[in-house]
Amino acid sequence: MKDENSYYSIKESIHDRVQDQVIFNEANEILKDLYGTNAEFREGQYEAIEATILHNRTLVVQKTGWGKSLVYFICTRLLRDRGRGVTMVVSPLLALMDNQLSAATSMGLKSDILNSRVKDRRVEIIEELKNDELDMIFVTPETLFSEDVQEALPNIRIGLFVIDEVHCISDWGHDFRLQYGNLYKILQRLPMNVPVLGTTATANDRVIEDLRHQMGDDLFISRGPLSRTSLAIQIVHLEKKNERYAWILQHIHELPGSGIIYCLTQRDCDYLADFMKTNGILVRAYHSGLSEEQQMEAEELFRTNKIKVLVATIKMGMGYDKGDITFVIHYQCPSNIVSYYQQIGRAGRSIAKAYAILMHGKEDDEIVNYFIDTAFPTEKECKEILGNLRNSDGMRYYDITSAVNMRKGRMDKALMFMENEGYIYKEKSKYYATPKKFIYDREHYESVTDMRRQEREQMIALTHIKSCYSRFITECLDDPWAENCGQCAACRGKNFISTEISPESMKIANTYLERLVFPIEPRKRWIKSNVTSSTMIKFQNQRGICLSRYGDPGYGELVKRDKYNNRNFCAELIGKSVEVLKPLIWEHGIRYITYVPSRRNRMVAQLAEEIASRCNLRVLNLLEKSQAPQQKIMENSSHQCENAYTSFHMKKGVKVPKKILLIDDIVDSRWTLTVCGYRLMEHGCEEVYPFALADSSERKDGNE
């Protein structure tokens, strides 16, 4: 796609390519003020700056670490000197925004951020924007489209509009985000003399063409080679979780400095970080499931090299600028090549050599396929929500969840999708339907899904090729300059980190995983529904114990097998249950056990009887279940709470002890255990201790 509006690496002097000598002189002076008299622009940097000043629309597609942010920093200085308005940078990641704010401030730009971390200063920052007192503002798309910012926007003089990680606005992009989809509304409202700059490191030909369509046919494209010569890539074939745990434990200190280990889910981040911490490694988990305080603490410890490893999801996947990251390990295989390129691009930005270690496990395909399959809401989901809205005078979020049986993650995605497409809108706390006719472009969404499956196949192919890993990656990104790197394990013909695992490391990993049990936290509030109100639960369970995660290697696999194949829980599961329950029983003086009843089989009752016989407990049949839909088909908390609340009751005439162990086989939403415990305590029990063999709750939605 080489054309007259595209910049490609060429040999003539930069002075031969300058179109405006005044802009060049000023930009060059700023550069030298920042980095010294010998500083020079990297190949393509000045052309991107000049194009941004002179053209209406510019797209920069350059490798990680190339210096894309420098382009809009210098453009801001140039435009502000010409009396133009504030530069507004839309950025997807909070950690990235903090990096950028620090860099902009060091350049003498008066800058600030608008995101969830500045709640106490939000009004003040918006006033500064309206008064044209800031040179640059970094804003998340969610904050940009919040009510207060949208009200202020007509009174904010924008001099340059920047979309960082611009591939996110393309649904052909590997990391398409519905929040970004609304940005076209801003582009449409901007005066034509306000320049727009999009930056990314991961836009292949298909994404670039889509961005050209969205940003304008006269789009100037700055595109350069993507190969990172500082990165040495190695692939480690260890599919079992215990083997990967053991390898990381044994070899992590062979890698110099500090680095990132990427996991596909929040859950895996937490477990792996805990394992490493237990074994004396300085580490923190990092994902969106943690509080802002925890995230900021982890960022600061990592930035100042006070920890060896940050175990992160894709929340640390784009743009984070820490120049001395020496390694990136992938505990699991990412969904596609472009995600992988983004993530390994965190390493080696200002050092001569860094390492990228790619591992993969048996669970990768299940997790990645889940992400691919749920990227777009279904037509049925959209119609059900839209139908309810059109038959109402507006609905609050909890009204929609009460009416529509859909998981929270799916609900949020569907609402955002339909708002982006103009079928619904939100005003204050209510959603309303618009008159726009609903059309579901099934063919397009299926095409995008098919493309993502093809990208997944590319990622799998990378783990099996014998030729240069870097070349394969950059060819997948349509890089016309792709070439062998000479640095990766394939080019060298040997690994730079051993793949051997000692028996001692395996023993430590196995012991940790076998002893790993998980808390069942008590629910504290009812979800507002037809039978409950959103108030404090008067009778709450004690903190319980769950033996495993459903389907995970080890006990989780045994639960999955026995539940649906053997129809009877094996001696190994019962023995392990007894082992973890005996300390709890002894500590709290528990003498009785009951179980969650089922209308289909006696598996849980038999499990309770086996545990009781080995723990010297008495089994009490206290609860009954009325005819009702299966709890597992209830998708969100509102439906799960209501279904459980109306399903489980105490048997008539039973006597309830003061303390009791409550057994179930699988816990998901915790509403079954919550309601059963509530019924027991309504009738005189003082302490209920839940136990389950496996947790099947979906944390795949939490891939950030």
Q: Is residue 353 assigned to a domain?
A: yes
Residues 354-372 have pLDDT tens digits of 999 999 887 888 888 888 8
Q: What is the C-alpha to C-alpha distance for residues 325 and 346, in angstroms, rounded to an integer?
A: 7
**Count of domains forming the chain:** 4
Strand partners, 160: 87
Q: Phi and psi of 198, rounded to 5°?
A: -115, 135
Among 156, 189, 223, where does a domain finish?
A: 223
Residue 432 sits in a domain of what CATH number? 1.10.10.10
Are both 345 and 485 inside the same structural domain? yes
Per the model's pLDDT, the better-predicted residue between 700 and 174 turns out to be 174
Q: Is residue 541 assigned to a domain?
A: yes
DSSP code, position 348: S
Are both 498 and 376 inside the same structural domain? no
| 91-100, 415-424, 434-443: which is most confident | 434-443
Are both 177 and 295 inside the same structural domain? no
Residue 468 sits in a domain of what CATH number? 3.40.50.300
pLDDT band, very low/low/confident/very high, at 701 (cuts 50, 70, 90) = very low
Over 70: is that where the pLDDT of 232 sits?
A: yes
| 140-154, 173-187, 571-585: which is most confident | 571-585
Q: Is residue 510 assigned to a domain?
A: no
Over 60: is that where the pLDDT of 245 sits?
A: yes
Are both 45 and 136 inside the same structural domain? yes
- Predicted local distance difference test score (pLDDT) of residue 551: 83
β 544-549/687-695 pair status? parallel
- Predicted local distance difference test score (pLDDT) of residue 252: 97
Residues 192-201 have pLDDT tens digits of 889 999 999 8
Are both 145 and 177 inside the same structural domain? yes
Residue 602 sits in a domain of what CATH number? 3.40.50.2020
pLDDT band, very low/low/confident/very high, at 468 (cuts 50, 70, 90) = very high
Residues of the chain with pLDDT > 70, as a percent, come to 94
- Predicted local distance difference test score (pLDDT) of residue 101: 85
Are both 163 and 297 inside the same structural domain? no
Over 70: is that where the pLDDT of 14 sits?
A: no
Residues 1-11 have pLDDT tens digits of 334 344 433 33
Q: Alpha helix locations (H) across 422-570?
A: 442-462, 469-476, 489-492, 503-515, 555-561
- Predicted local distance difference test score (pLDDT) of residue 663: 98
pLDDT band, very low/low/confident/very high, at 317 (cuts 50, 70, 90) = low
Are both 618 and 687 inside the same structural domain? yes
Q: What is the pTM assigned to this prediction? A: 0.84
Are both 308 and 422 inside the same structural domain? no
Q: How far apart are the first and last CA of the chain?
A: 33
Q: Is residue 434 assigned to a domain?
A: yes
SS (H, E, C) 625-693: ECCCCCHHHCCCHHHHHHHHHHHEEECCCCCCCCEEEEEEEEECCCHHHHHHHHHHHHCCCCEEEEEEE
Are both 523 and 629 inside the same structural domain? yes
Q: Is 90 helix (H, G, I), strand (E, B) or coil?
A: strand
Over 90: is that where the pLDDT of 56 sits?
A: no
Q: What is the mean pLDDT of residues 95-119?
A: 84
Are both 299 and 423 inside the same structural domain? no
- Predicted local distance difference test score (pLDDT) of residue 668: 92
Strand partners, 158: 86
Residue span of the structural domain in which 266 resides: 231-360+463-503
Q: Is residue 456 assigned to a domain?
A: no
Closest among 140, 135, 161 to 94, alpha carbons compared: 140
Q: Is residue 612 assigned to a domain?
A: yes
- Predicted local distance difference test score (pLDDT) of residue 6: 43
Are both 216 and 263 inside the same structural domain? no
For residue 3, count CB atoms less than 10 angstroms from its CB and return exposed for 0-12, middle for 13-18, buried for 19 or more.
Answer: exposed
Are both 280 and 356 inside the same structural domain? yes
- The token pair at 624 is 């009954």
Q: Is residue 457 assigned to a domain?
A: no
Question: CA of 607: how far to CAs of 591, 668, 684, in Å?
Answer: 16, 18, 25
Q: What is the C-alpha to C-alpha distance for residues 135 and 591, in angstroms, rounded to an integer?
A: 69
- Predicted local distance difference test score (pLDDT) of residue 177: 66
Q: Is residue 454 assigned to a domain?
A: no
